[in-house]
């Protein structure tokens, strides 16, 4: 493989690296992705190796438009088209039957492929310059906190992966994943696009949650219990309990509404869901970097879909590792 000339490539340099079978990190509106040619099996294998990602966790294929998505799919139903037209470019990943040309490693040997058109000018320019779809798992070691800045990517991969720097990600949590390869449509991972909005676009009911996995099969490993995890032990705590209990020595707290006295151990989180999501992974990293005895996260009580998506990530960040 050709060595990358610089750790901050131009879009054209990044595209040549990808066309030559290499990997480049790129910004999207959700989190930074690790881009590689989705049709090149060796390149895809390298992405799994770089991330230490288990082979049973499929990758999302990133496309520049609906026409390119059709090249990754063996069938592009009217339902897929409706979703693409309603939400692309945007934080929605659509699971459809896989084209033969997509190496089976991409889909974790499954018959379906997940495709998404990201809403970020650099991501779109990169995919267009490559001239075909690119895989784009979050650009972090498997299981760790997702990156929302180029700096986060560099911290993990140093100079092993060049990074296209597009500034901080606007949304900050991963896309909603919905499958239309079955009926009814099913949300496999919750992100910024709500089940209700999907239902309106499809004109059908949309259900939420993965099917119970058959032995050896994972319908959506984005639903793995432990994910997005800091190194430090991390706990979700209700606001009431947080205010009532003595703060353990060496703890760092991600506080929201709880009336806590200002202290260096407290990281104040934004009260609006969109701003909270944007800030979440950077705040988890800041907390972790202080090597605390424990990270206590005030459980957000908000009822909107986005708050549910945030609680989903917080729950996984706190889950015991397998
Ligand atoms: P990440 O690349 O870290 O955003 O994770 C991608 C996630 O997309 C996976 O963990 C799965 O949850 C989901 N995904 C990717 N491909 C498929 C597929 N073919 N079927 C179901 N879910 C998928
Ligand atoms: Mg990830």
Q: How confident is the model at residue 6 (pLDDT cuts 50, 70, 90)?
A: very low
Are residue 239 and residue 185 in the same domain, yes or no? Answer: no
Q: Does residue 223 sit within a domain? A: no
Q: Are 185 and 80 members of one domain?
A: yes
Mean pLDDT of 168-178: 98
322 and 261 in contact (C-beta within 8 Å)? no
Same domain, 198 and 270: no
CATH number of the CATH domain containing 191: 3.90.870.10
Same domain, 28 and 118: yes
Q: Taking 80 as the threshold, does the pLDDT of residue 211 lie above it?
A: no
Closest ligand by atom to 34 CA: 1
Q: Is 190 in the pocket of ligand 1 (CB under 6 A)?
A: no
**Lowest-confidence segment of 6-10, 145-149, 212-216, 300-304 by average pLDDT:** 212-216
- What's the pLDDT tens digit per position in 96-114? 999 999 999 999 999 999 9
pLDDT (0 to 100) of residue 224? 56
pLDDT tens digits, 234-278: 999 999 999 888 889 999 999 999 998 888 899 999 999 999 999
| Helix/strand/coil for 11 | helix
Stretch (H or E) spanning 60: strand 60-62
The answer to whether position 32 is within a domain reads: yes
Together in a domain, 239 and 173: no
Q: Is 107 in the pocket of ligand 1 (CB under 6 A)?
A: yes
Whether residue 166 sits in one domain with residue 302: no
State in Å: Cα 299 to ligand 1 middle: 26
Range of the domain at 78: 11-208
Tell whether 81 and 41 lie within a shared domain.
Answer: yes
Domain boundary among the residues 154, 173, 208 is at: 208
pLDDT band for position 225 (cuts 50, 70, 90): low
Q: Is 280 within a domain?
A: yes
For residues 60 and 180, membership in a common domain is answered with yes
Classify residue 220: in a domain, yes or no. Answer: no
In a domain, 96, yes or no: yes
- 254 and 314 part of one domain: yes
- Cβ(168) – ligand 1 distance below 6 Å: no
The pLDDT assigned to 247 comes to 87
Choice between 222 and 38, residue whose per-residue pLDDT is larger: 38
274 inside domain: yes
- Please indicate, yes or no, whether residues 142 and 84 belong to a single structural domain of this protein: yes
Q: What DSSP line would sit under 84-141, residue for residue? A: HHHH-SSSEEEEEEBPTTS-TTTTTT-SEEEEE----HHHHHHHHHHTS-EE--BSSS
Q: Mean pLDDT of all residues in the chain? A: 93
Where b means 16+ CB within 10 Å and e means fewer, 194-229 reads bbebbbebbeeebeeebeeeeeeebbbbbbbeebbb
* Cβ of 146 less than 6 Å from ligand 1: no
Percent above pLDDT 90 for the chain = 85
Asked which of 208, 224, 249 is the last residue of a domain, the reply is 208
Tell whether 188 is covered by a domain: yes
Q: What is the pLDDT of residues 71-103, one digit of tens each?
A: 999 999 999 999 999 999 999 999 999 999 999
pTM comes to 0.94
In the chain, the percentage of residues whose pLDDT exceeds 70 is 92
Domains contained in the chain, number: 2
Q: Is residue 51 part of a domain?
A: yes
Q: Which two tokens stand for residue 18?
A: 């990808």
Q: Ligand 2 mean position to 136 CA, how many Å?
A: 9
pLDDT reported for residue 320: 78
Q: What contacts 274, CB < 8 A, 6 or more positions away?
A: 171, 306
pLDDT of 1 > 50? The answer is no
């Amino acid at each position: 493989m050709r060595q990358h000339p610089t750790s901050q490539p131009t879009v054209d340099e990044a595209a040549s690296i990808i066309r030559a079978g290499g990997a480049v990190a790129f910004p999207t509106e959700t989190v930074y992705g690790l881009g590689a040619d989705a049709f090149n099996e060796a390149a895809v294998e390298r992405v799994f190796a770089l991330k230490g990602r288990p082979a049973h966790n499929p990758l999302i294929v990133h496309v520049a438009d609906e026409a390119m998505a059709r090249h990754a799919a063996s069938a592009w139903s009217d339902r897929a088209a409706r979703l693409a037209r309603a939400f692309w470019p945007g934080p929605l990943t659509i699971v459809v039957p896989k084209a033969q040309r997509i190496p089976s490693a991409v889909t974790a040997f499954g018959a379906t492929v997940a495709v998404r058109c990201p809403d970020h000018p650099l991501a779109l320019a990169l995919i267009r310059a490559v001239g075909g779809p690119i895989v784009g798992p979050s650009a972090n070691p498997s299981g760790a906190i997702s990156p929302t800045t180029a700096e986060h990517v560099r911290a993990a991969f140093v100079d092993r992966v060049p990074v296209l720097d597009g500034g901080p990600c606007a949304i900050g949590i991963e896309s909603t994943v919905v499958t239309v390869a079955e009926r009814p449509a099913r949300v496999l991972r919750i992100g910024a696009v709500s089940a209700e909005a999907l239902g309106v676009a499809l004109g059908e009911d949309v259900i939420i949650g993965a099917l119970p996995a058959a032995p050896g099969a994972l319908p959506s490993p984005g639903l793995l219990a432990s994910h997005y995890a800091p190194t430090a032990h991390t706990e979700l705590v209700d606001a009431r309990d947080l205010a009532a209990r003595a703060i353990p020595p060496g703890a760092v707290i991600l506080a929201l509404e709880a009336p806590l006295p200002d202290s260096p151990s407290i990281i104040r989180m934004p009260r609006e869901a969109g701003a909270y999501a944007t800030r979440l992974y950077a705040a988890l990293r800041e907390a972790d970097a202080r090597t605390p005895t424990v990270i206590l996260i005030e459980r957000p009580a908000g009822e909107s879909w986005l708050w549910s998506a945030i609680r989903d990530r917080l729950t996984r960040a706190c889950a015991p590792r397998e």
